[in-house]
C-alpha cells in the first residue's frame, strides 16, 4: 500500500435514505471492495437498529402488562376505630366496616363495577 491510498479515489459512502444511516469505507484499493464492505457495515447497522427497536417495543409492551412492579399502591384501608372502609382506587368511603368484614361488600363491588364501566367507555371514546 504505502502512498498508493493517496493516489486512488476509491472511498465509498452509502446512505440509507429512509433512516439517514450512513456507512463509509476507504480501506481497500478497489472501489468495488470498498462498496461491498460499506454495504456490509450498513446492513449490520440497519439490522441492529431494527433489533433494538423491536426489543424496546417488546419491553414497553411487557412493562405495560406487568406494571411497575411497585406494590406500594394503596387499594383499600380498613379503619377499625372509626368503622370505616375506604377504597382508594375510586375514592369510596363506607362506614359499614363490620358488615364488610362479614362479607357484605355489595356497595363496594357495585361502585367498582360502575368505575370500571366508565373507564372502559372513556377508553372506547378515546379510540373512536
Residue 50 and residue 15 in one domain = yes
Q: What is the CATH number of the domain that holds 15?
A: 3.30.160.20
Max Cα-Cα span within the chain? 93
Quick check: is 41 in a domain?
yes
Residue 81 and residue 58 in one domain = no
Residue 8 and residue 40 in one domain = yes
Q: pLDDT (tens digit, 9 = 90+) per residue, 18-30?
A: 999 999 999 888 8
Q: What is the mean pLDDT of residues 67-90?
A: 83
Residue 51 and residue 83 in one domain = no
State how many domains the chain has.
Answer: 2
* pTM listed for this prediction: 0.50
pLDDT averaged over every residue in the chain: 88
Give 8's pLDDT tier (boundaries 50, 70, 90): confident
Q: Give me the domain span that covers residue 84.
A: 76-127
Residue 58 and residue 104 in one domain = no
d(CA 54, CA 48): 10
Q: What is the mean pLDDT of residues 91-104?
A: 92
Q: Is the pLDDT of residue 1 over 60?
A: no
Q: pLDDT (tens digit, 9 = 90+) per residue, 30-54?
A: 899 999 999 999 999 999 999 999 9
What is the per-residue pLDDT for 110? 94
Amino acid at each position: 500500500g504505502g502512498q498508493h491510498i493517496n493516489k486512488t479515489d476509491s472511498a465509498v459512502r452509502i446512505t440509507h435514505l429512509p433512516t439517514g444511516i450512513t456507512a463509509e469505507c476507504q480501506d481497500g484499493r478497489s472501489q468495488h471492495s470498498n462498496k461491498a464492505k460499506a454495504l456490509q457495515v450498513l446492513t449490520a447497522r440497519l439490522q441492529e437498529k431494527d433489533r433494538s427497536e423491536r426489543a424496546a417495543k417488546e419491553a414497553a409492551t411487557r412493562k405495560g402488562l406487568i406494571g411497575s412492579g411497585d406494590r406500594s399502591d394503596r387499594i383499600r384501608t380498613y379503619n377499625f376505630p372509626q368503622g370505616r372502609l375506604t377504597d382508594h382506587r375510586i375514592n369510596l368511603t363506607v362506614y359499614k366496616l363490620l358488615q364488610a368484614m362479614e362479607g357484605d361488600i355489595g356497595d363496594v363491588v357495585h361502585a367498582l363495577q360502575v368505575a370500571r364501566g366508565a373507564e372502559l367507555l372513556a377508553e372506547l371514546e378515546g379510540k373512536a
